[in-house]
Amino acid sequence: MIMEKGISSVEVLPSESSQVTAVKLVVKEPETKQTQRGKRVGFVLVHAGAGYHSESKAKEYKHVCKRACQKAIEKLQAGALATDAVTAALIELEDSPFTNAGLGSNLNLLGEIECDASIMDGKSLNFGAVGALSGIKNPVSVANRLLCEGQKGKLSAGRIPPCFLVGEGAYRWAVDHGIPACPPGIMATRFSLAAFKRNKRKLELAEKVETDLIQLKKRRQSNEKGSRIMCSACGRPPKATGGGKGGDQIELYSPENDSGTLDTVGAVVVDQEGNVAAAVSSGGLALKHPGRVGQAALYGCGCWAENTGAHTPYSTAVSTSGCGEHLVRTILARECSCALQTEDAHQALLETMQNKFIGSPFLASEDGVLGGVIVLRSCRCSAEPESSQEKPTLLVEFLWSHTTESMCVGYMSAQDGKAKTHISRLPPGAVAGQSVAIEGGVCRLESPES
């Protein structure tokens, strides 16, 4: 992998909204060795979620990202499809007890795990997804199988093969297609069970506070002066707040609460032929309503992949993370892919995060817009002017951006000895949900000599 440029800078960028602080950071990369003879090329970028990553668990987050990159690169070096490589990365991320996907996912209100996942192939533009899926250890494997089966054409009697299945139907389809079931007791880890118990207590406390507020308002409306209601949860007079915001509001998804993770894992890949693929997987929000489906399963919201074409000069792959409802209502994956067709990828992604996400009219009522993306774009380019050889090269730009407190990423090329990992954090003073951080790099992948 040869780095095309490496800039190390921190720059405060102007924004149309005074509430938005956009910070552009570009990672400086060392130059690596030349492509070995006969060795296949490719590149992978993964994320372990946009949310809050405590310093105490930083090592674990980075380690799982490193392993995920290595799994994808092993597939690419063996000549596998980009979709198989991105699936391999996601399976590694799902199997970690520290991520909110697959094993150890957030539990819903009933104490059950329901997962969402999707995958998209940039070459065929086919898509596969599952939502609210229980009983399967690796939801992305079902999504990938749906994609593969869909590429085979129509079913008997001319039926259209499904690309998106949910709930019990998704589970039955997976088992019928040879994907092993997983007992519910194995899916929940001691971390996810402990988080569920903490969040249930917070929910019960919040409901008691709200009940006391309602009682207080009714008594005030009845002009019952002189009485004093004490909060049954904390023993203090409840504070009446307009619209249920502020006051004694209990937050499940605050930065201080490491158990209320918004994390969704994902990966983007480009192979030797320039084909791209993207995938995403999530356990959803903590204490979500049973049956809730987030962005990780929805077309154009969780991931996007599209090869170069008549109207797309660049191949693009995108995977998103964060609050699913925010990402669904802005169709962020698709928006980012379209924006990356312009010349300046950094500026295009910044403007998309500012104008199409934080400043989106569809989220105007939200106090803070929480999300993150990893993006990759590539194109064929000629050899460097001073080079006498004309080896085909693939120019790859990779970026990540988030409005959450932090985002953990890893990346690796087929020529690297090991993956690089990083936890990106908003700078001091930046407000989560109102600020944007962007980092990334650019590299050239030279095709192997025959």
Active site residues: 264
User: Phi/psi of residue 338, each to 5°?
Assistant: -65, -40
Any bridge partners for residue 374, and if so which? 319, 400
Q: Are 186 and 152 in contact (CB under 8 A)?
A: no
User: For residue 379, what are the CA distances in angstroms to 272, 276, 337, 340?
Assistant: 11, 11, 14, 12
User: For residue 33, what are the CA distances in angstroms to 7, 52, 123, 367, 446?
Assistant: 19, 35, 29, 47, 11
Structure tokens at 77: 């070096």
**Alpha-carbon span 9 to 74, nearest angstrom:** 33
Any bridge partners for residue 420, and if so which? 411
**Which residues have CB under 8 Å from 129's CB, separation 6+?**
116, 117, 118, 119, 143, 146, 163, 164, 165, 297, 298, 299, 302
**Alpha-carbon span 68 to 269, nearest angstrom:** 12
Amino acid identity at 341: Q
- Kindly report each contact of residues 5-12 with a partner whose C-beta sits within 8 Å and lies 24 or more positions away, as own/partner: 5/442, 6/30, 6/441, 10/427
Question: Hey, CA dihedral for 172, 178, 181, 182, is it positive or negative?
Answer: negative
Which DSSP symbol is given to 35?
P
**Which residues have CB under 8 Å from 389's CB, separation 6+?**
383
Q: Are 14 and 397 in contact (CB under 8 A)?
A: no
State the DSSP string of 379-398.
EEEPPPTT-S----EEEEEE
**Alpha-carbon span 398 to 269, nearest angstrom:** 10
Can you give the C-alpha Rg of the chain in angstroms?
A: 23
